[in-house]
Amino acid sequence: MQAIVETLFDVVYLTLVISIGITMIRKSKDNTQFRLFGIMAVVLGLGDSFHLVPRALALCTTGLENYTVALGLGKWITSVTMTIFYLLLYYVWRKRYNVQGQNQITAAVYILCALRVALCMMPQNDWLSATAPLSWGIYRNIPFALLGLLIIVLFYQSAKKNKDTAFRWMWLTIVLSFGFYIPVVLWADVYPLVGILMIPKTCAYVWTVLIGYNAMKKEM
């Protein structure tokens, strides 16, 4: 039952976000903001597919324990692509609110992204093992959480200041995504049931993508 439900959910999710992303890229014309948003959605979907597709295959065939390497590699790739996702979202913020300068914020974003990717590349993560250390899962997610917090603050302040109703809940989608993701990082290995929080986390990212798509339909 889990295999069927989870696989169907993942297929719908990946198809939806990638399709929306491609549509936004095609229809954005000269609007850099929405083109970036479309690229961001495609990066999200393609990146997650490296983990979700092997997981679906494992659930529908011989089990997760026989796909350790594929699942580990998928999580590794997804960790990097999610960092790129937030970097692109930062530039969506700059384009949407016509932000000029702010070099210190840009530097902070790049430093956190670089630190996150560097930590993901460290061999101590032992990505391809069934017993990857929890400590490194925490280390690599510290700059990621700080990056997410920064993006939350930026969108919250800018949407409020500019009375931007289209993006007024963007900050909340990111809060929810991290709120559901962090318990999985900390406790999923000990309490596997906690892993179910990845479903609402995924729904939060779908909400993020839909915010951009609906804004494009209204504004173009």
Q: What is the CATH number of the domain that holds 146?
A: 1.20.1070
- Decide if 47 contacts 16 (C-beta within 8 A): no
User: How does pLDDT run across 26-70, given as a tens digit for each residue?
Assistant: 999 889 999 999 999 999 999 999 999 998 898 888 888 888 999
> How far is CA 21 from each of CA 10, 31, 39, rounded to the nearest angstrom?
16, 14, 6
Closest CA to 36 of 75, 109, 82, 86: 86
Q: What is the pLDDT of residue 193?
A: 83
Nearest to 208 by CA among 40, 31, 33: 40
**How many domains is the chain built from?**
1
List pLDDT tens digits, range 69-94: 999 999 999 999 999 999 999 999 99
Computed over its alpha carbons, how large is the radius of gyration of the chain?
Answer: 18
Give the structural domain span for 207: 2-219
- What percent of the chain has pLDDT above 90? 81
User: What's the whole-model pTM score?
Assistant: 0.94
